Structure formats: structure tokens, C-alpha cells
Structure 1
Amino acid sequence: MNRGGQLVKLDPRVWALAETHSQSFTVGDRVYGCMRFGACASYVNVPAHQIRKMPNNWNFSQGAAFTAQTLTSYYALKELGNIRSGKVVFIHSLAGGCGMQALKICEKLGASVIGTVGRPEKVLKLLERFPHLSIEQIIVRTTAKELGGQIDTALGYLQHKASIVSHSGIDIVMDAVLGDWFQPVYDRLRPGGRYIVYGAADMTPNSNKLGWNEWLRLGYQWLLRPKLDLLEVPSKNVGVMGFNLIHLLNDAELLLLLMEEMEALSLEPPHVGHEFEFSELVPALSLFRSGKTTGKVVLKV
């Protein structure tokens, strides 16, 4: 069988799974999926277990926006976070692609959400898209010093909803920001809570040209990056986990299982906040890094 070129070597067991799953598709099916690298192309060659049929009412931009963000959120919440009904989930960058998909998953599974956004205008957009969300559950990041008190206020609001939450504290954290925002959230983990890191947006360049002042800022942030005393972790009875989605793609059976579970949730199509032609790649990436986006940024080839 002609399997085409792959950027990584796949063992025979994975190819057997892909070939079995390929029987679910016919030429002309509209599909969405995920791959390791090389997705910015006119044609891609993807093992069949890494794709699913796209709902008829979705367009291709929504399909492109679905897999990576939803898989990231679902893996963090389900596989690592052990999410269950009644849990309190804290999500940084709630208005982003992963944030919105995580919020949908939490609503489906009966968990309560507190989240942060970087700009006040994103609060209204979230409330418009998620009518069951309250403004008390959304925190606009101002300073790390103020964040702790804002979280306490949001937890107090959830405690008054006794039918949803019967305890204080955070059960699961999804953090792709890090920096100074780590400690105030970590300090409010409940015993048994899990802090999941999958990015560090606050510690990455935010300019296309790095001058000496930007290098100094990054160096300063690196020196002051969050650090944990591992002797303290057992006494707090919490877990801190990090992951990169690339490793999930190396576990074909788990990847297929999670994609099937995601499909069974019947989530609404993802919010595509911005679409760019491929020739506009640089402006698209600049906007993405600016923190001004809502939902997913999609490149159209």
C-alpha cells in the first residue's frame, strides 16, 4: 500500500490501525483531523485514525479550527484533569480557541468554570456566546497581585450556587499563560487539584522585531519564572502536569479513543474569530500573538 511521505516514522501497529479505520471513509467525504507538522499545504497525507467525518452543517474553517483546540482541551480536562460533574475548572485565556472549547466541554460534563481574559471587550463576547456563563465567572487580568482576590470573589459566587458547587477552591487549572499569573491560581488549588500547563504566552516575544528591551524583558521573566518546592507538593496534595499535544499523536489508540469521545459530546462548531488567506500568514501570526483575538485564527489555502 502506498502510504506516501510522513514526517515521522510510524510503526506497523499504527499503520494497521490507520488502514482499518480508513474503511470508514470514501472519496469525497468532508473531514477534519490533526497531524504533527506540515498542515499549511494544499494537500496533506494523514493516517486515517487521525481524521473524522465533519458534520454537514460545518464549513471547512470550522473543521480546521476544531481538532487541535478541542483535543488539547479534552485531553487536559479528561485524561489529565479527571473532570467530573461539580468540579471547578479555572481556565486562562477563556476567550481563545482552547478556552472556548474547554468551556463547552465543561458545560457538557457539568463542571463550573472561572476564567481570565486579557482585555475587557472579550467579556461581552463570551457572555454573548455562552448565555449560561455569568460575568462573575470572568476575570479581566490586570495585575497578578489583584488576581488572587478576584479568584476568591469568583469562588464565593460559585459557592452561592449550592446546587453546582459544594466546596471552595479550584479542582483543575488549564494554563497556557504562566508568568506572574501562575502563583495566585496555584495557591487556590484544593487538595487533589491538578494544575495543567500547556503553554507560556506571557513568556514569549510579542513583537516581530526583538530589540534589546524585549530581550531584557524575556530574560527578566525567565529568571523570575514560576518555581515549585517539590517538598511542598505532597503536603498540599496537588499535581502539576505539563503536556504537548505532539506526544498524544504518538499514542494512536488513545488518540482514536479521545477523538471518538469528543465526537460523542456533539459540541457546537468552534468559533472562528479571524480568517486569513495563506499569503497573509505573517499578519495572521502577528494578530495571533497580539492577544487581541477571540476564538480561532484560521489560514485559508
Structure 2
Amino acid sequence: MSAAVAKAMVCKAWGGPESLVLEDLPLPALGPKDVRIRVHAAGLNFPDTLMIAGKYQFKPAFPFAPGMECGGEIAEVGEKVSDLKVGDRVMATTGNGAFGTLVNCPASNVFKIPTSMSYEIAAGFPITYGTTYHALVDRGRIKKGEVLLVHGAAGGVGLNAVELGRELGATVIGTVGSDEKAAIVKEYGAAHVINYSKESIKDRVKELTGGNGADVIYDAVGGDAFDQSLRCINWDGRLLVIGFASGRIPEAPANLALIKGCSIVGVFWGAFAAREPEKNRANFAALLALFEQGRLKPHVSASYPLEQVPQAMQALLSRKTTGKVVIKVS
């Protein structure tokens, strides 16, 4: 299949956002089970900042474009792809390469989008909603009436966890670092919001739950949030380890897991999607049905043109954004 050249934000050496450059990036020839997408918009994720710094678990060969997800239209299909065609409106997880005008990815990572979904919304949908649905349903086994504690509740995955927790019938408690972020967390379905810069997460969760603690804890923050979580988790609680946005990977005292009868559960959605593609597709069918019913309202707080990816990354790292940050490509 043919090769192509994308205009992309390119990483040539490990570094910060300012090290990226806008230039032509040749794409490899299209594999038989791959598709090429003309990117309209791409979602920015915290792991993109880790990837360009060489701190992510996957290190692409130089030169590469970051960008793990996108919304766009099919420009070309591999010879063994039968369920997608040129012109289809899609969203996709790409691993990297989405911060460019064209990207190749496996057809199995591509999902057709409803006509009611814009490319900008599609761009920021797959990773955070895919991660969160898998976390709460497959790994957290969340049940109606349980208490869900969400750390970093105003962020990309956090706001999705608040929203999906509400849809799944949980009582949601969100944690945020400022009063300004509390309003949107409440708007998306949290019954209570804790500003951890002003009060103890552990003490407040205990107070709100009559001393029991939270049944499911969604932790994409790590560090101090994880430490406090183990001290305010209910009997048979599930502490979901999503990531470490705080920068510190915590260690769990094994005696607390024993005393609390709780589980510390790893959530690695990317590996799940690769190992169990049919289950992942079923999850996405459920998510897209919720979207079409108007029950999910993805929040994009900021969008930047392709040449301003460094500024977008700085905004994300400053923690001034809520929900998703999107890159408009075409």
C-alpha cells in the first residue's frame, strides 16, 4: 500500500513541549489490516507529555509525532479491511502520530462515530471514556448505590469518571485542588466535592459515608491521594490505579489492604484493548449509545491549532484546564 507524508508536530529528541517542531513526517506504507485517517482533530492526554520526555512505557523511534487519539475521516484502507471505507467519519486510538494531518493505525482501533458527534468531540473521546468505562465496570465492578471517590475529578479522565459513575448509579464524591473546579464537577454529577487544598480527603470521605469509606476509588493522581485513599476505603473496596499525574508513584502498606479487606486493582486500558478487542468494542458500543441518548456530554475546555501543541501541553501541565484539551488539525 502507498506511503504518504503528513504535516506534523515532530519529536526528534526527548524533551519538553518546547522541543517539538512543525514539519513534514513521512508515514510508513499502509499495512493490509491498517487504515489511514485524515485527521480533523486530536485529543491531548497527559501521557503525550511523558512520551516526548522519554518517560512513558512506550518509546517510539525518532522522529515521531505524539498524539494518541483523533477524530477524522478514512483516507485509505488496507486490502484486508472490510468494515471501513474511504470517507467514513471515525475516531481512533493511534498510539502516537495523531498530531499530524494524516496517521496510520490498525483498523481494530477505529470506531465509526454518529452523525451527532463532531470531530472535536470524537478526538477527545476514546482514551478517557475507554479507560474510565473499563475501570469502573470491568475492573471496579461498581454497583448501583455504591460510593465512588474520584481523584482529580475536574481533569480529562476524572470528569468522565464522575459522569459515568453517575450514569451507573453511584453516589460520586470528587476531589479537586481549587474551588473554581468544584462547580463543573458538581455539574457533571458529583454529590459532594472535596477541595483537598483546604481539607483532609480521608476525614471528609469518612464523614460523608458515616465512617464507612468509599466502595470504589478512581485514582489517576497517585502520590498523596493514593495514600489517603487506603485510609478511607470501605470493607471490600476497590482502589483503581489509573495513573500518577502527581508525579509520585506510591507504595501500598500491605497491612492496610489486609485490615481493610480491600483490593488494589491495576487498570491498563491499552493492554486490555489489545488483549480483549471484542470486549473493548462492546464497551464502546455502550458508550456511544449513551452519547446518542444525550447522557454523556464530553467537555472540551480548550482547543489549539496544530502549531500550538507546545502551548496546549503547557496549559495541561499547569492544571488550569478542565475536561479535555483538543488540537484542531484541519
Give the TM-score band, short-chain normalised.
0.7 to 0.9
Q: What is the deviation of 1:262?
A: 2.2
Q: What is the deviation of 1:133?
A: 3.9
1:77 aligns with 2:77: no
| Structure having greater relative contact order (Cα 8 Å, sep ≥ 6) | 1
Partner residue, 2:252: 228
Q: Which has the higher strand share?
A: 2
1:105 aligns with 2:105: no
- Equivalent of residue 120 in structure 1, options 179, 201, 209: 179
- Equivalent of residue 201 in structure 2, options 139, 142, 147: 147
Partner residue, 2:290: 265
Partner residue, 1:45: 104
Normalising by structure 2, report the TM-score: 0.70
Match for 2:284: what amino acid? M
Normalising by structure 1, report the TM-score: 0.76
User: Using the alignment, how far apart are the partners of 2:176 and 2:256 within structure 1?
Assistant: 30
Partner residue, 2:13: none
Q: Deviations over 1:127-168 (max 9, x none)?
A: 3x33x544xx1111216x722222223335xxxxxxxxxx93
Q: Give unmatched runs, 5+ long, in structure 1.
A: 9-17, 157-166, 204-221
Q: Give unmatched runs, 5+ long, in structure 2.
A: 3-28, 35-59, 62-76
Aligned 8 A contact 2:174 2:190 in 1: no
SS in 2 for 1:293: coil
User: Using the alignment, how far apart are the partners of 1:226 and 1:68 within structure 2?
Assistant: 23
Partner residue, 1:290: 318
Match for 1:4: what amino acid? L
Match for 1:72: what amino acid? T
Aligned 8 A contact 1:50 1:255 in 2: no
Q: Deviations over 1:253-273 (max 9, x none)?
A: 332232223223334241111
1:4 aligns with 2:63: no
Aligned 8 A contact 2:214 2:232 in 1: yes
User: Using the alignment, how far apart are the partners of 1:69 and 1:93 within structure 2?
Assistant: 13
Partner residue, 2:216: 172
- Equivalent of residue 237 in structure 2, options 171, 193, 213: 193
SS in 1 for 2:274: coil
Partner residue, 1:66: 125
Change (3 A) 1:107 1:83: same
1:254 aligns with 2:291: no
Partner residue, 2:65: none
Q: What is the deviation of 1:125?
A: 2.8
Change (3 A) 1:57 1:260: closer
SS in 2 for 1:199: coil
Q: In terms of mean alpha carbon deviation, does 288-297 or 248-257 score higher?
A: 248-257
Partner residue, 1:279: 307
Q: What is the deviation of 1:283?
A: 0.9
User: Using the alignment, how far apart are the partners of 1:87 and 1:265 within structure 2?
Assistant: 21
Q: What is the deviation of 1:22?
A: 5.0
Aligned 8 A contact 2:219 2:225 in 1: no
Change (3 A) 1:231 1:123: closer
Q: What is the deviation of 1:173?
A: 0.8
SS in 2 for 1:116: strand
User: Using the alignment, how far apart are the partners of 1:180 and 1:103 within structure 2?
Assistant: 20
Q: What is the deviation of 1:246?
A: 2.7
Change (3 A) 1:44 1:181: same
SS in 2 for 1:202: coil
| Identity across matched positions, percent | 30
User: Using the alignment, how far apart are the partners of 2:298 and 2:81 within structure 1?
Assistant: 25
Aligned 8 A contact 1:86 1:112 in 2: yes
- Equivalent of residue 182 in structure 1, options 226, 231, 240: 226
Partner residue, 2:84: 25
User: Using the alignment, how far apart are the partners of 1:63 and 1:94 within structure 2?
Assistant: 21
Q: Deviations over 1:18-70 (max 9, x none)?
A: 99x95443332211121222222211223233222212222111000111010
Aligned 8 A contact 1:62 1:269 in 2: no
Q: Deviations over 1:199-219 (max 9, x none)?
A: 11212xxxxxxxxxxxxxxxx
Change (3 A) 1:113 1:253: same
Aligned 8 A contact 1:147 1:184 in 2: yes
- RMSD, aligned α-carbons: 2.8
Aligned length in residues = 257
Partner residue, 1:245: 269
SS in 2 for 1:113: strand
Partner residue, 1:299: 327
Q: Deviations over 1:70-96 (max 9, x none)?
A: 011111101110012111111011111
Q: What is the deviation of 1:231?
A: 4.6
Q: Which has the higher helix share?
A: 1
